[in-house]
Structure 1
Amino acid sequence: MARTPARNTPSSPKAGAARNQLRIIAGEWRSRKLTFPDVPGLRPTTDRVRETLFNWLSSWVPGSRCLDAFSGSGALGFEALSRGAEWATFIDNAQVVTRQLQANLTLLNCRQAEVQQAQTQDWLQQPASRQFDLVFLDPPFQRQLLEPAAQALEQQGWLADTAMIYVEHEQELQPQLPASWQLHRQKQAGQVIYSLYHRQTGGSDSPTL
């Protein structure tokens, strides 16, 4: 999940590791609560936004291969897995975050996922080792990470032909995204814009959502 700029000096990761919780909304792990560490600015996508997003994606998630590209709490990736996603890859650059993501996967007895500790933009610059049907792209705000990540996803071959891409960003940003990404749904929650794009590479039918 994206990280907003921190306003105060954070407490140590050890002190805050168990303070924050997110709730899985639906699916196999419905109502399960997971902890996430106290990292500066880490903010899970709200329950209301997640519910709207997964209503949009209700027919698309089952059996999908998902990438939670700036994971943070992992709220979107865990929600997708709970609702029947076949696989999820979580990426975050903070060790305290990736350790908690792995701990939560172990807690849920989930083996259909991997956690990568890396800078997302560097990880995406590799030639694709797999293709994803569903991508959650929610980078830290105010750091100009969204457009480079979107371009790397497209150029390095990480996306399935008809992939769905969720994008979350600050209201004032007007990102330039790949031409093959067609806007499917968009809403605003406070100062946050959240959108769902459908990748269309030519000749493919839109999914029923």
Structure 2
Amino acid sequence: MRIISGRWRGTALAPVGAGDEAARLRPTSDRVRESLFNLLAHGDHAPLEGARVLDLFAGTGALGLEALSRGAAFAVFVEQGRPALKLLEANLARLRAGDLARVLPRDATRLGANPGEPASLVFLDPPYGRGLGEQAIDAALAGGWIAPGATIVWEEGAMPPPPPGLTLRDRRQYGDTMIFLYKLTGP
């Protein structure tokens, strides 16, 4: 895995290796990330330049780090798995991006109140088919983590039930991976 474009273009990210079965690490492939960021750059979505990013179920941080590389101003990474947190911290150190990011080692479905500015771009990559994405969106909305008009990029294995207040703007399928782009249009 590597950063596809921007100021850190071509930089290799910490290898996941054989992985930890219990960690359920499933990083978004370079090809899918490249396609996703092309959609974000050329679609009717919140601008990437200067964006505040919320990366829920961040894993290695590849999505949020790609956004930072392409001009996002700041990213909050939410991850509770120890193997993933180690990889995320290694990637932040590798890119010297610590001043552009905050890591919250907690459950994405129990965010609590947001102490900072809300995000204009949200990445949501929960374990597939367990309803955790819906819980995380509910927690993020309740805690004030998502700005009005924000773009939410939701990666799942099948279409999730449409959350209230979100409007589906686009969807794409890449093998077993489905990407849904929502806009926060309601409360």
TM score, norm. by length of structure 1: 0.79
Higher Rg: 1
Shift of 1:161: 0.7
1:147 to 114, 134, 140: 134
The residue type equivalent to 1:112 in the other structure is: L
1:58 aligns with 2:41: yes
Gaps of 5+ in 2: none
Task: State the partner residue of 2:106.
Answer: 118
1:32 aligns with 2:11: yes
Task: State the partner residue of 1:127.
Answer: 113
Larger proportion of helix: 2
Shift of 1:114: 1.2
- Contact 2:48-2:67 at 8 Å conserved across structures: yes
The residue type equivalent to 1:33 in the other structure is: A
- Contact 2:77-2:104 at 8 Å conserved across structures: yes
SS in 1 for 2:155: strand
SS in 2 for 1:106: helix
Task: State the partner residue of 2:151.
Answer: 164
Measure the CA separation in 2 of the matches of 1:178 and 1:112.
Answer: 30
Task: State the partner residue of 1:79.
Answer: 66
Shift of 1:136: 0.3
The residue type equivalent to 1:100 in the other structure is: L
* RMSD, aligned α-carbons: 1.7
Aligned residues between the structures? 177
SS in 1 for 2:41: coil
- Contact 1:36-1:73 at 8 Å conserved across structures: no
- Contact 2:78-2:103 at 8 Å conserved across structures: yes
Shift of 1:36: 4.1
Task: State the partner residue of 2:77.
Answer: 90
1:93-118 Cα offsets, whole Å, 9 max, x none, are 12232122122212211110011211
- Contact 1:150-1:177 at 8 Å conserved across structures: no
Measure the CA separation in 2 of the matches of 1:86 and 1:70.
Answer: 20
1:66-117 Cα offsets, whole Å, 9 max, x none, are 0110011211011001001100111111223212212221221111001121
